[in-house]
Amino acid sequence: MINGSTKCEQCGAAFTVLASLKRHQSIHTEEKPYSCDQCGKSYSESCQLKLHQHIHTGQKPYSCEHCGKGFVSSRNLKVHQHVHTGEKPYSCDQCGKAYAQSRQLKAHQHIHTVEKRYSCDQCGKAFGIPWELKVHQRIHTGEKPYCCEQCGAAFSVLGNLKQHQHIHTGEKPYSCEQCGKAFLAPCYLKAHQRIHTGEKPYRCEECGAAFTGLSNVKRHQRVHTGEKPYSCDQCGKSYSQSGERSIHQCVHTGENL
């Protein structure tokens, strides 16, 4: 007993409660006294066994208040809720990219640590995992194997199809904690949240003007480049913004603004 705490002789970890020390010591002894009577799998703590048993019972006592999805543990529920809040607490210490789940971060970190042995024969871009190369190659082949049953729209990535399907269901699972506004996809929520934070991460290299979204800075840059990608199909006159073209087209339709 040291200053009212009990110390582990193996690693020096200190505990104020003896029962906590005994639970901890099972890490060193590898003792797993709690066994599942369904499949025989063993655990060092009773709480771990209790969580495991939900697999057999199908019980999911922790429900998401946003979408109703059930989970076997409060930890899994907490991780899931990042989907709705847009929170990404797991950041890569190499490049700063952030993720909602630790497993997503772990998968990403292969980019920095794994040798990129799989190269695209079209453009030479290299990947550490074969499936990443396969998904990338769809840019060149135009393959879109994931089709929406509602409208036939096709996508190269399954995640993009799932995101698209919210258009038909009307579901907007990503909500802003500040004002409650809901969005179809996390990228839209993230862009919206900059209204509240004042963050403007996209900067024009020509004049330094800052913007909340990438599309906004691209639109602004046409001021400098003189690009006018929106052409009137009646007379060929071009504009830098689609809104300007729409206003112009009223000349041909006779529509009053």
Contact 146, 154 (CB under 8 A): yes
What does 226-237 look like in DSSP terms, one character per residue? ----EE-TTT--
Per-residue pLDDT of the chain in tens (257 residues, 90 and over written 9): 444 567 888 787 888 888 777 777 777 777 777 788 888 788 777 777 777 777 777 778 888 888 888 887 788 888 787 777 778 888 888 788 888 778 788 877 777 776 778 899 999 888 877 888 999 999 999 999 999 998 999 999 888 898 888 889 888 888 888 888 888 888 888 888 888 888 888 888 889 898 888 888 888 998 898 888 888 888 989 888 888 888 988 888 877 65
Tens of pLDDT, residue by residue over 48-89, are 777 777 777 777 888 888 888 888 778 888 878 777 777 888
CA–CA gap between residue 204 and residue 216 (Å, rounded): 10
Whose tokens are 């809720």? That residue is: 81
Phi, psi torsion values for 34, nearest 5 degrees? -105, 110
Please, is 12 exposed, middle or buried when counting C-beta atoms within 10 Å of its C-beta (0-12, 13-18, 19+)? Answer: exposed
Do 6-57 and 62-113 share a fold? yes
Q: What is the pLDDT of residue 154?
A: 92
Dig out the tokens for 170 from the structure: 């009307």
pLDDT of residue 256: 66
- The full set of domain ranges for the chain reads 6-57, 62-113
Residue 65 contacts residue 51 (beta carbons within 8 Å): no
**Cα(209)–Cα(225) distance, integer angstroms:** 15
Report the candidate in 200, 216, 209, 104 with the shortest Cα–Cα distance to residue 159.
104
Find out whether 95 and 112 touch, Cβ atoms under 8 Å: yes
- Indicate the CATH number for domain 6-57: 3.30.160.60
pLDDT at 32: 78
* Nearest in space to 238 (alpha carbons), one of 226, 247, 246, 229: 229
User: Which H, E and C letters describe 142-211, residue by residue?
Assistant: CCCCEECCCCCCEECCHHHHHHHHHHHHCCCCEECCCCCCEECCHHHHHHHHHHHHCCCCEECCCCCCEE
Among 3.30.160.60, 3.60.70.12, 3.40.109.10, 3.30.1300.10, name the CATH number for the domain at 62-113. Answer: 3.30.160.60
148 vs 167: CA distance, rounded Å: 11
Task: Report yes or no: 170 and 164 within 8 Å, Cβ to Cβ.
Answer: no
Q: For residue 114, what pLDDT is reported?
A: 65
Confidence (pLDDT) at 121:
92
